[in-house]
Amino acid sequence: MTNTTQDFGIEKALQNLGISKQNLGVSVGKNYFANGEIIESYSPTDGQLIATIQCGSVEDYKAIIEKAKKAFQEFRTIPAPKRGELVRQFGQKLREYKEDLGKLVSYEMGKSLQEGYGEVQEMIDICDFAVGLSRQLHGYTMHSERPGHRMYEQYHPLGIVGVISAFNFPVAVWSWNTALAWICGNVTVWKPSEKVGLCAIACQNIINQVLQENNMPEGISSMIVGNHTIGEILVEDKNVPLVSFTGSTRVGRMVSAKVAERFGKSILELGGNNAIIITENADLDMSIIGAVFGAVGTAGQRCTTTRRLIIHESVYEEVKNRLVKAYGQIKIGNPLDENNHVGPLIDQLAVNQYLDSIEKCKSEGGKFIVEGGVLEGKEYSSGCYVKPCIAEVENHFEVVQHETFAPILYLIKYTTLDQAIELQNAVPQGLSSAIMTSNLLQAEQFLSHAGSDCGIANVNIGTSGAEIGGAFGGEKETGGGRESGSDVWKYYMRRQTNTINYTTKLPLAQGIKFDL
């Protein structure tokens, strides 16, 4: 093992999580084996090989689906509060493994250790949310127009919920879906990003403990590491009535079409191009903190990352100068070192996209006030560490209209709030948005029908850091789906209207007569 794994306890964390130098990429419980290709997981932190993963084959996928179908027949009959008890136990296991799993998330993905711990905390929080919800799944009753009749609506589980997750949140997004799917009576099949396959295997190892300790059937929670072929099969599989996909808009568009073609349901969490409007009435101290964390957190690899700052002309120069000073204080380095603010990008492809976007911005007329570039030196030997940068641009620049998963922040000047909101909305994506203001009228305008067109709209906080209690998702090219809190559980169930006639007569609706 490298110094990184020894110095920061990664080797011990891997052992505790059941990760060895060679790992199975398929798991539905004990005694299950993968038969696909072997891939390697390298850490962007130090460029070192963590372990190899034997992926699942098409035949492995088919076997998993058969086990899931069988498990669903039993799991859906278990009362929802009992299913909630399984989720409660899973949350307790996560508390026990929080430090180990948080370190693995940080090491395999590259986000800061505090963010790694925070992601596991999100898993714990959604478990707590789901446990309470397991005793609150409800329908509606309504009056019938026919005498002696009662009407109500109820919700039933769908069956198998497929979860396809992205690298930037290796464990949290899966848990959002799984905790809610479980309490609703569904079973899950998870296809994680191959870039963070070890995190997925660790999660499956933890959930397997809960299932085995409760003598639950194999197939309630399954996971398969595989290439795009496995993902395509899952998307097109009629045995999977709901697919929750997190990833790019380009791939999400194909997922949406394929699932809709077979009349399935999809939850799509796609690209974001998030902006903070900083008004002339903003608290600038608070605004700078929100903007900097939103822009550089997770090295700009969040779907809620702050990509654009839309700044009132009266405070533009002051905000710009303070941002330059703040960026000069950012510490970039090993994400397992809690003194560092920013870790690496996920891989070399991400670095190339970052560099291409910088050049594209310059070619369109962007002026960089904080220059970017790839960091060199022994500490940055993986080649994935880049400098967070800032450019003055126009909102209509092509590069600004697209999401670059990297720490590039664009500054845009505005005159009136109407203009700022128009700029905020004038991108294809619609995930998260924010306004910084102490003026109540400005805040209410931003939140009104004529305000932000995003799924998330915040006042005096940044664009990232959503809580699990609220429905998470966006509009337009962000996909339109919702995950996590609120009444999102309804996405994981099918709705049914029931009418009961408790008389010996059969009156028809709308007063229709049909006498024999």
User: What are the residue numbers of the active site?
Assistant: 269, 303
Q: Reduced to 3 DSSP states, what percent helix, strand and coil does the chain have, rounded to the nearest 5?
A: 40, 20, 40
Element spanning 277, H or E: strand 274-278
Rounded CA separation 285/256 (Å): 42
Rounded CA separation 385/372 (Å): 11
Rounded CA separation 301/406 (Å): 6
Element spanning 505, H or E: none
Who's near 215: CB < 8 A, 6+ residues apart? none
Who's near 196: CB < 8 A, 6+ residues apart? 41, 105, 108, 109, 167, 170
Is the separation of the CB atoms in 410 and 308 below 8 Å? yes
Q: Are strands 26-27 and 22-24 parallel, antiparallel or unpaired?
A: unpaired
Query: 152-176 burial, b for 16+ CB within 10 Å, e for fewer?
Result: eeebebbbbbbbbbbbbbbbbbbbb
Rounded CA separation 382/449 (Å): 47
DSSP state of 374: B
Who's near 172: CB < 8 A, 6+ residues apart? 119, 120, 122, 123, 126
Rounded CA separation 357/368 (Å): 12
Tokens 């769908």 appear where?
Answer: 158
Q: How many of the other CB atoms lie within 10 Å of CB of 443?
A: 20
DSSP state of 430: E
- Name residue 214's amino acid: N
Rounded CA separation 111/451 (Å): 33
Joined together, the tokens standing for residue 322 give 């303070």
